[in-house]
Amino acid sequence: MHDDPLLKITDLQTHFYTRPGIVKSVNGVSLEVRAGETLAVVGESGSGKSVTSLSIMRLIDPPGRIVNGSILFRTKQGKRVDLTVCTEPDMRRIRGNDIAMVFQEPMTSLNPAFTAGDQIAEAIMLHQGKRKKEAWSLAAEMLALVGIAAPEKRLHEFPHQMSGGMRQRVMIAIALSSKPALLIADEPTTALDVTIQAQILDLMRKLQMELHMAILLVTHNLGVVAEMGSRVAVMYAGRIVEEGRVDDVFRSPKHPYTIGLLASMPRPDSGGKRARLDAIPGSVPSPFAMPPGCSFAPRCRYALAECDAVIPALAETGDGHVSRCLRWRDL
């Protein structure tokens, strides 16, 4: 057993050097993922949650660049690697093998010119060095594992012959074929219907237990967080503003943004129809005009004058629960 985390990100900064200016998409993110756990990263568009996950895989293309911070990862061989500085060949061995990724778009993340079998078998041959015949039979096993009926037949189908839910299962089959220690799932069910979403989430939970894999789940859906996460990190404008156990954060949120997000969701069978929702006023600040202090202050009903002056540090509010708010005690 390891006590140290599987993934430890410290003060990550990923910036994009665009013509109108520098976009600090990820601006000092630190987080840890332990073996076998699910960390949900939740945030709205532009919060930096996807850029964080792409930074881990080092899939940031110019004009973007990781400018600061470290991403320590423990490989299957037990080696500690800083993903921000390791060589590209090393990174290629880690990608897909130790860390796999499932994207939001099941429509575009598969190659339309190859069958599902080709694409799963390719991953198996590449990462496990198997021969083609063996890889294909393993591919059929993977398809069965992700709950696809008649896998031998489906192996020979092209992506366009499959539904969205089926394609996402194929993506998961590819991702899991090398039994990664960490699965990064970036909005894996956002493009899917709710009944299919329920199937995919159920599948991810089951496979996580079987393979003892950690999941970094990136989502904007608080419902999905509540059902899947053991811990949750809430991101806003490039920073983590609150982190803690899912139960704690939902029961007693310690950051005004989290409080606002939870209050803006309609509650099931509250019976209070016709009540108004507690909306957060305003919208996310432009990346070119970030407030000088707390980036949520302009929309915050608890904001004081100090909030515009300093960027609050993450304060420990309880057991493993942190908040980036000066006034967390008053909330």
Partner 1 sequence: MSETLLEVRHLRKLFPIRGGLWNRVVANVQAVQDATFTLSRGEIVGLVGESGSGKSTLGRSILRLTEPTSGEVVFNGRDILGLQGNEMRRMRREMQIVFQDPFGSLDPRMTIEAIIGEPLRIHKLASRAERPAQIAELLQMVGLSPDYRKRYPHQFSGGQRQRIGIARALAVKPSFVVADEPVSALDVSVQAQIVNLIQDLQQQLRLTVLFIAHDLLIVEHLCDRVMVMYLGRIMEFAPSRRLYGAPKHPYTEALLSAAPIPDPSRKRERILLTGDIPSPMNPPSGCVFRTRCRYAIPECAQTVPPLREVEPGHYKACIRDVL
Positions touching partner 1 (CB under 8 A) are: 44-45, 163, 165-166, 193-199, 201-202, 220-227, 246-247, 250-251, 260-262, 264-269, 271, 273-274, 276-281, 283-284
The backbone region for 234, taken as left when phi is positive above 0, alpha when psi lies in -120 to 50, beta otherwise, is beta
Query: Measured from the CB of residue 3, what is the shortest distance to partner 1 in angstroms?
Result: 26
Residue number with CB closer to partner 1 (246 or 307): 246
Inter-residue contact 72 to 82 (CB < 8 Å): yes
Residue nearer to partner 1 on the CB measure, 137 or 163: 163
Smallest separation (angstroms) from partner 1 to the CB of 157: 14
- CA distance linking residue 312 with residue 66, whole number of Å: 23
Which candidate, 102, 17, 19, 120, places its Cα nearest to that of 57? 102
What minimum distance in Å lies between the beta carbon of 241 and partner 1? 13
- Give 133 or 273: the residue with its C-beta nearer to partner 1: 273
What is the number of helices (H) and of strands (E) in the chain? 10, 12
**Cβ 167 to partner 1, closest distance in Å?**
11
Nearer to partner 1, 125 or 201 (CB): 201
> 160 is written with which tokens?
């366009």
Closest approach, Cβ 279 to partner 1, in A, equals 4
Nearer to partner 1, 165 or 180 (CB): 165
Q: What are phi and psi of 39, to 5 degrees?
A: -105, 120
Instruction: Please give the Cα distance from 66 to 207 (Å, whole number).
Output: 32
**What is the rounded CA–CA span in Å between residue 315 and residue 292?**
19
**Nearest in space to 218 (alpha carbons), one of 61, 31, 76, 41:** 41
